[in-house]
């Protein structure tokens, strides 16, 4: 687990999957993703092996690409917070891997994707962090290059009017904007097969491995304590 200057934060959630998959901490996705006729989710594609959470994408018996996704909604819903995920993702074109914050009220937007690889290529050489907001899905996006097929810790610090995206415990991008959400959100982790014919979310092809996993070693989250943040180190 990470050790940081945590002034202004209070730990409220954590899971290292040592005891397997906890239904008191996580819910599982099921059915078809909204707006993505090429994808499907099933709880059987969420598996813990050797203390690692695996969100697996592979074809089912009908040939359809099926993925796994989880939500912190049973245990973690809050306004503002700090989130970190120790994660790696198998290479595989057409299979997206996403870590995000989603409104508890289940309307859209807003959405905070603090780490996303859309599967546009057969590598995992970059991620995008995107704030979705407003009518017509306005976006503020930042991108980072690194090898995400290797283990890294990805996260976000969400405070009033401000998002700080983090990589291995260090900030790599900042968004300061009045459209940063100010409502309760849950944390979601998911893989997802793309839709053929859509540039930003292609479907798997002949180069895609038979199985593509997002592997999660641990997850930790903190609540925001504004009264304790005074004097904390300022982010760039």
Q: What percent of the chain has pLDDT over 90?
A: 80
* Backbone dihedral region for residue 149 (phi beyond 0: left; psi -120 to 50: alpha; all else: beta): alpha
Place of tokens 């202004």: 8
Please determine, for residue 45, whether its predicted confidence score (pLDDT) is greater than 50.
Answer: yes
What pLDDT score does 226 carry? 66
Specify whether the CB–CB gap between 70 and 53 falls below 8 A: yes
The per-residue pLDDT for range 2-13, each reduced to its tens digit, is: 545 677 799 999
CA distances from 188 to 3, 115, 117, 210 (A): 23, 11, 14, 24
Give 184's pLDDT tier (boundaries 50, 70, 90).
very high
Give 177's pLDDT tier (boundaries 50, 70, 90).
very high
Of the listed ranges 27-41, 47-61, 131-145, 178-192, the least confidently predicted one is 27-41
Model pTM above 0.95: no
Of the listed ranges 30-44, 72-86, 106-120, 222-236, the least confidently predicted one is 222-236
Please determine, for residue 124, whether its predicted confidence score (pLDDT) is greater than 70.
Answer: yes
Nearby residues of 35 by Cβ (< 8 Å), 6 or more positions away:
none
Average pLDDT over residues 61-83: 95
CA distances from 230 to 4, 8, 224, 226 (A): 16, 8, 12, 7
Place of tokens 């002949």: 206
Considering the segment(s) 9-224 as one domain, its CATH architecture is: Sandwich (2.60)
Nearby residues of 138 by Cβ (< 8 Å), 6 or more positions away:
109, 132, 179
Please determine, for residue 230, whether its predicted confidence score (pLDDT) is greater than 60.
Answer: no
DSSP code per residue over 29-61: --BPPTT-TT--B-GGGEEEETTEEEEEEEE-T
Average pLDDT over residues 91-117: 96
Please determine, for residue 84, whether its predicted confidence score (pLDDT) is greater than 50.
Answer: yes
């Amino acid at each position: 687990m990470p050790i940081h200057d945590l002034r202004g934060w209070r730990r409220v959630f954590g899971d290292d999957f040592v005891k397997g998959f906890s239904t008191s901490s996580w819910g599982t996705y099921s059915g078809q993703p909204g707006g993505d006729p090429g994808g499907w989710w099933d709880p059987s594609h969420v598996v813990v092996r050797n203390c690692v959470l695996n969100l697996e994408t592979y074809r089912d018996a009908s040939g359809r690409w099926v993925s796994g996704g989880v939500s912190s909604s049973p245990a973690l819903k809050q306004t503002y917070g700090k989130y970190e995920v120790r994660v790696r993702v198998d290479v595989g074109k057409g299979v997206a891997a996403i870590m995000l914050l989603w409104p508890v009220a289940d309307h859209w937007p807003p959405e905070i994707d603090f780490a996303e690889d859309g599967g546009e290529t057969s590598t995992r050489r970059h991620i995008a962090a995107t704030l979705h907001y407003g009518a017509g899905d306005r976006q503020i996006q930042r991108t980072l290059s690194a090898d995400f097929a290797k283990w890294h810790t990805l996260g976000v610090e969400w405070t009033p009017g401000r998002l700080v995206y983090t990589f291995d415990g260090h900030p790599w991008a900042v968004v300061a904007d009045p459209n940063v959400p100010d409502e309760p959100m849950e944390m979601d982790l998911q893989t997802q097969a793309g839709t053929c014919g859509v540039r930003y979310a292609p479907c798997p092809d002949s180069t895609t491995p038979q199985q593509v996993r997002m592997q999660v070693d641990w997850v930790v989250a903190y609540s925001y304590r504004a009264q304790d943040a005074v004097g904390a180190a300022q982010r760039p």
